[in-house]
Amino acid sequence: MGPMREKTIRILELYSGIGGMHYASELANIGADVVFSVDINTSANDVYRHNFKQTNQQARNIESLSAKEINKLKPDLIMMSPPCQPFTRVGLKLDVKDPRCSSFLHLLDVLPQLETVAFVLMENVVGFEASEMRNAFIKALKSCGFVFREFLLSPTSFQIPNSRNRYYAIAKKSGNFPFGTETDIMTAIPSNYCSSDMQVPEKTLDPYLEKNLTDEKLACYLLPDKTLLKYWRILDVRQRTDVSSCCFTKAYTHYAEGTGSVLQHDVKESFHKKFAEFEEDGDVTHLKPLQLRYFTPREIANLMGFPAQFSFPENVSLRTRYRLLGNSLNVIVVSSLLKILMQ
């Protein structure tokens, strides 16, 4: 008989969204299998099933998952991205009292009864680290004998030209982490882990952009005149050669302020010249040659580390695509943390 094949790592993926965690586990190449995936959002589930036809994906409220049911699945690793509204700068900051936290609190309740779970990876928004919820999470981890490390990381520290600062926690039951402590939150991956096998991404926006957008397709993404006239002062306009872009949120294209960058599609025109002309007489036609447009869902997915084979079902509207991507996570950042956790 040949050498024993190492046991597959069984993943339970909670709040699975459009499958960012699943893609991260594939990219990390740790010999893992997502045995069960749960989310309550119907449109997210449609996209997930479209891309992962083999996975047992269920539309369930996580509060309906009992310790008994989870133990039957024998998961080694729980990956999760719980709802973040309770902690966001635009949320009401109700924290633990927010009803959207109840599924996460349920999970912390059953954690001590989970027999096979030896690893946890969690993603959340910045602000979580200062919440009551985080204290409850850390307390539960400690009482179950986990050691953990916390991070605040953005894709920009991975040379990806997009900022998306997020809170991450990794925890395991055996051994310890050879870096950091449980009292500080790290803002970079330890240098000896930035392994050479990680593809160094392209530093400018250009390689992430769709090539050969037809005029017809381009027309769908151009900023409307009324948006240009009303919001030109606050638009974050990027060039293809730029090495950064703002975080894309779920309200991208719906609200102009702070929801993500826009792109100057035509590189031949001078941005400063055209804006100077526009400022003189307020005639929006001066801006037309710049072809200011929204980043397409595919481009945002590229910046977020989703692989080329990821796609949306045809019937998902543009606005829903932006919303789902805005609620998702950076696949490359998560896969790097996953590698560290499983080493």
Active site residues per annotation: 84
Which of 42, 20, 147, 332 has its CA nearest to residue 34? 20
Q: Let me know: does 146 contact 120? Beta carbons within 8 Å.
A: yes
Which amino acid belongs to residue 184?
A: D
* SS3 label, residue 78: strand
Distance between CA atoms of residues 233 and 191, nearest Å = 39
**Tokens standing for residue 332:** 């490359």
> What whole-number distance in Å separates Cα of residue 300 and Cα of residue 232?
22
Give the β-pairing of 262-264 and 237-238.
parallel
Q: Which of 329, 322, 326 is nearest to 221 (CA)?
A: 322
Query: Beta-strand (E) ranges in 92-215?
Result: 119-125, 147-153, 166-172, 185-186
Instruction: State how far the Cα of 16 lies from the Cα of 48, in Å rounded to an integer.
Output: 8
d(CA 179, CA 181): 7
Degrees (nearest 5) of the Cα angle 196, 199, 204? 125
- CA pair distance 173, 78, nearest whole angstrom: 12
The residue behind tokens 């479209």 is 50
Rounded Cα gap, residues 208 and 192, in angstroms: 27
